[in-house]
Structure 1
Amino acid sequence: MNSRFFKTEAESSKRRLRLWHSPYLLLTCTALFWAGNSIVARGAREFVPPVALSFWRWTLALLILLPIAWPHLRRDLPTLRASWRTVVVLGALGIGAFNTLLYTGLQTTTAVNGLLLQSLQPGLILLLGILIFSERARLLQGIGILLSIAGALVIISKGQMSALLALRMNTGDLVISGAVVIWSLYSVLLRKRPAVHPLSFLATTLAVGVVVVLPFYIAEIASGRLIEDRSESWMAIAYVCVFPSLIAYLCYNRGVELLGSAPAGLYLNIMPVMGALLAAIFLGEAIRPFHFAGVTLIAAGIACAAMRRAGGRARP
């Protein structure tokens, strides 16, 4: 019986190890949890103010993570100190600024506009990689990004591309546009992250993000916007602090480490697909032919961008 127990444990460890080395599965999970993040933030906008949602998301996530990450954090502290400027920039961009701006924008913009703007991230990531690190974009990679963006647009417009012409930019759109640029920059700069354990890096950037958000949270409270004491509020906060925060960020950071920023960013275009599926499950919305058309284009784009030159390998 003991041998069977240890055999089962060994098999379980191997499965976890395979998952940690599977960038496509990691990034698909990331897209799923981040799609849920946008849906929850939009649904909770009436009873959880945007900065409060961001602050408690990161504070609770840090409190959950810290006991687990502490042994790695102690060991990696000298490396983190040596790279403190990079850690502060990444924490301020990817943790502090992006989600606070996203939640703020979702207060006043539509889901269609928000999804459309976020679907531009892979192209921006590729462009910033070229500008900042002089990356050379491969033809198939460029084609893949264009195909995936086209698939996202099909889903967002519900197969009626003329609907895109009717979109209007409002304050929320502009705020989310800023968030999109910030996230794209964070994704590109991730390659400069210090060589530390993933839990050490995530815990440190979470701490930076909490410090960045805190002054804005205090200002929000002073303005009279408070969290409503109801079950929906606490359920929304619980979801965003675990799935889109702890799990998704670990998966995304690891995906960028394995694939590089541009191919990993391409997976952000799966989010409209995940959003449509979540809407069908939780809101009773029907899955229509344009969803399948969009999924096909996104899958083709991912396949193109994932192709390697002979003997080649993406570098983070």
Structure 2
Amino acid sequence: MPYLLLTLSAFIWSGNFVLSRAMNATIPPAGFVFWRWLVAICVLCPIVIPRLRKEWPLVRANLKLVCVCGFFGVTLFNFLIYTAMHSTTAINAALVNSAIPVFILMFARLIFGQTVSLRQHAGIALSLAGVATIILQGDLGRIRTLSFNRGDLLVLLAAVAWALYSVALRRYPQGLNPFVFLFSISLSGLLFLVPFYAFEIHSGAVMNANTPTLLSIAYVGILASVVAFTTWNIGLRRVGAHVGGQFIHLMPAFSTMLAVAFLGEQLHLFHIVGIALILTGIVCATFRIAKTA
């Protein structure tokens, strides 16, 4: 079940990446993040408010964790990604974003002393090979044509932020309702975002309210925020960040399928090979955990 939840998160977030690239000229990055999480908070309110009084002592006791997760997972990661989409290509963004599982393993080892088995290392390598196959379109010669710019650096910083968020979830307090936790980090993240959004508005960058922008905000606010974050948090708590993080590698595969389905792009052999390698790597990295659970 946790692997299904992590897969669902990766699928929804793949749609978020495609959508953010499509809307980068229409919705400013800080505004995109602000309205996304404001919608999420509004959706969560009817679920959370009846529970908040009872669980507030637990939230208050873990305010440091709430602020860390809110800053890295809600504010910084999303703001950097949406900003990066103004100055980088989809290929480069997918390549750099695939470093997230590596950062998760690194921080899990440095902060918590998490050990990683040889089987899991092999699974990571297979998944990375699958990602590279899709990005390079099965042609190693394409490496020579890749160039990196400011946007790529922002995606790399976003990957670091998401890895820190994922590893921090290891401190998730027992007994805290997942919706209450998500509501708390969403509110925290919005507070951290206020200076960025105020500066953006002051600079004249505003969002035009029309049907495409409203539908985009609804998607990222409900699905990419409430649904995907909840399933990711639950899945990661059950299998650990070092294992669950490998499911990020599904995103290039899902992005490819979405492009084929909705943008009319063609499916090639390198897509099939890459997706197969990613799935094999994930099975390899998670098999031991599933076997001993």
- Is TM more than 0.5 here? yes
> Hey, what's the Cα distance between the residues in 2 that align with 1:298 and 1:216?
36
1:79 paired to 2:68:
no
* Larger CA deviation: 303-312 vs 181-190: 303-312
Identity %: 39
Q: CA deviation at 1:161?
A: 2.1
Q: CA deviation at 1:27?
A: 1.0
Q: 1:176 aligns with which of 149, 152, 155?
A: 155
Name the residue aligned to 1:232.
Answer: 212
CA contact (8 A) 1:87 1:193 kept: no
* Larger CA deviation: 161-170 vs 97-106: 161-170
Q: CA deviation at 1:310?
A: 9.7
CA contact (8 A) 1:101 1:178 kept: yes
Name the residue aligned to 1:193.
Answer: 172
**AA partner of residue 193 (structure 1):** Y
Name the residue aligned to 2:267.
Answer: 287
CA contact (8 A) 1:73 1:199 kept: no
Q: 1:272 aligns with which of 252, 260, 263?
A: 252
> Hey, what's the Cα distance between the residues in 2 that align with 1:71 and 1:192?
24
1:51 paired to 2:30:
yes
CA contact (8 A) 1:72 1:199 kept: no
Q: CA deviation at 1:139?
A: 0.5
Q: CA deviation at 1:283?
A: 0.6
Q: CA deviation at 1:113?
A: 0.5
Q: CA deviation at 1:312?
A: 3.4
Partner SS for 1:249: helix
> Hey, what's the Cα distance between the residues in 2 that align with 1:311 and 1:232?
46
1:138 paired to 2:117:
yes
Q: 2:192 aligns with which of 212, 220, 242?
A: 212
Name the residue aligned to 1:245.
Answer: 225
- 1:50-100 CA distances to partner (integer Å, 9 max, x unpaired)? 110001000111011111112222221101111111111111110111011
The correspondence of residues 60-209 of structure 1 with structure 2, limited to 5 A, is 60-195=39-174, 196-209=176-189
Unaligned runs of at least 5 residues, structure 1: 1-21
CA RMSD of aligned residues (A): 1.3
Is the alpha carbon distance of 1:46 and 1:181 closer, same or farther for their aligned partners in structure 2, counting shifts above 3 Å?
Answer: same
Q: CA deviation at 1:281?
A: 1.0
- 1:205-237 CA distances to partner (integer Å, 9 max, x unpaired)? 000011111111111010011112322111111
TM score, norm. by length of structure 1: 0.90
* Larger CA deviation: 127-136 vs 225-234: 225-234
Q: CA deviation at 1:166?
A: 2.2
CA contact (8 A) 1:157 1:164 kept: yes
> Hey, what's the Cα distance between the residues in 1 that align with 2:73 and 2:51?
21
Q: CA deviation at 1:311?
A: 7.1
**AA partner of residue 206 (structure 1):** S
TM score, norm. by length of structure 2: 0.97
1:223 paired to 2:203:
yes
Partner SS for 1:238: helix
> Hey, what's the Cα distance between the residues in 1 that align with 2:78 and 2:171?
21
**AA partner of residue 46 (structure 1):** A
Partner SS for 2:94: helix
* Structure with more contact order per residue of length (Cα contacts < 8 Å, sep ≥ 6): 2
> Hey, what's the Cα distance between the residues in 1 that align with 2:289 and 2:238?
16
